[in-house]
Amino acid sequence: MGSIIYEEYINRTQVEELLTDLVKIYSPFFHEDEIMEYVYSWFQKRNLPVKYHEFYENKITHFQGKNVIGKLKGQDEGPTVLLNGHLDTVQICKGWTKDPLGAEIEGDKMLWSGSPRYERWDNCYHVSSRGLC
């Protein structure tokens, strides 16, 4: 039953295209501006409300960063669902046997610089909001 619902709303090709776009953006911690802009634009292109939340961490790193906050209002009354994730990946270092920004697909798996930490699961959020639109 779950597979039928999944296939009705989520197209594997669209998921792979979105994940590929995200993976190809170099975005280790402290270098996330480009991916934040991509995600912000993704919401805008679908006419979904989106805004930046800017912050400054002043105790340890003194990092000025931003978060992307998208919103999708449902048609029915019900509970609020919050999908929360992060978009940074690991630093690219020596020793990769595949291009860490190549988004290479092997079977049902995609390899990229964030895969050791399971980054880019945020792709699910984008796809979820697409399926809910």
Q: What pLDDT, in 10s, does the model give residues 51-108? A: 999 999 999 999 998 999 988 877 888 888 777 777 888 788 888 888 888 888 877 7
User: Is the predicted pLDDT of residue 127 greater than 80, yes or no?
Assistant: no
Model pLDDT, residue 49: 92
Cβ pair 112, 103 in contact under 8 A: yes
DSSP class of residue 29?
T
Domain boundary assignment for the chain: 2-132
> Of 6-15, 60-69, 101-110, 122-131, which one has max mean pLDDT?
60-69
CB neighbour burial string for 89-128, b if at least 16 within 10 angstroms, e if fewer: bbeeeeeeeeebbebeeeeeebbbbbbeeebbebbeebbe
| pLDDT for the residue 115 | 53
Three-point CA angle 4, 103, 120, nearest 5°: 65
Find, among 46, 54, 30, 61, the residue nearest to 128 by Cα.
Answer: 46
Spell out the alpha helix ranges (H) of the chain. 2-9, 12-23, 33-45, 122-132
pLDDT digits (tens, 9 = 90+) for 15-42: 888 888 888 889 888 889 999 999 999 9
What's the confidence (pLDDT) of residue 117? 45
| Domain at 2-132, CATH class | alpha beta
DSSP lists the bridge partners of residue 54 as 66
